Amino acid sequence: MIDLKSFCHISRGYFTEPWSRGGYTYASDSKIVVRIIEVKDIPDNELSPDMTDIRLPWDHDSITDYGQLPEYDPALLKPCGFCKGLKMLAVCQECKGDGVLYFYSSAGTEYEVNCKECKEGYVHQGEDSAPCPDCDGSGINKDVGIPFSDAFLGIEYIEKMKVLPGIKISPTHRHEGPFRFIFDGGCGFVMPRKVIWKEVIE
Ligand SMILES: [Zn+2]
Ligand SMILES: [Zn+2]
């Protein structure tokens, strides 16, 4: 059984759980979607998007140039700089997660100052665990794109796809459109990275 949850978004509303519709079960975080034959105990979610949208051509059978996922140096797999790979962070109690504090002078002028206890409202230790906003709780530095076809694939998505049995990806896609991939028991799409690959080797 494929770990559908690993393709869901960690916090974004209707993308946090897989859903079934029209004979299929889907899992997506909006940048990647996998589709398998309907799993009977996974219900539909009326808020989930329509994945038969025209921008997603489910024509995987008509493509013949599937190949291996791009390989890369494991050294490129860096921990997220924001959470240092912790994945989960705590909300700062000093600023209640705002990242800033407000003060008034005796003349009544308001000052906004950055909270000194945290980084953008999050701290590394404490209660109220929340997924890291930078890496969506993956712990992976997302600034790394791996060259593929005429674009780049986010390294965190290759890591997710890698575990799919018999995974193969096609280099054919419309400009800025998603790449098709197939695996034993299903298929899916992954969006190319729009931003150019930011080198992260220090
Ligand atoms: Zn992170
Ligand atoms: Zn704070």
pLDDT digits (tens, 9 = 90+) for 138-168: 899 888 889 999 899 999 999 999 999 999 9
Q: Do residue 24 and residue 119 come from a single domain?
A: no
Question: Does 202 fall in a domain?
Answer: no
Is the same domain home to 60 and 160?
yes
The answer to whether position 82 is within a domain reads no
The length of the chain in residues reads: 202
pTM attached to this predicted model: 0.81
Partners of residue 37 on adjacent β-strands: 24
The alpha carbon of 148 and the centre of ligand 2 are apart by a number of angstroms equal to 40
Q: What is the pLDDT of residue 195?
A: 52
| Range(s) of the domain holding residue 26 | 4-77+140-190
Token duo for residue 131: 């997924």
User: 124 with 153, same domain?
Assistant: no
Q: Give residue for tokens 């790449």.
A: 179
pLDDT digits (tens, 9 = 90+) for 128-137: 688 888 888 8
- 105 Cβ contact list (under 8 Å, min separation 6): 111
What's the CA-to-centroid distance between 201 and ligand 2, angstroms?
A: 30
> With contact defined as beta carbons under 8 Å apart, do 189 and 181 qualify?
yes
145 and 73: one domain?
yes
Examine residue 199 and state whether it is found in any structural domain, yes or no: no
CA of 79 to the centre of ligand 1 (A): 7
Report whether pLDDT(193) > 90: no
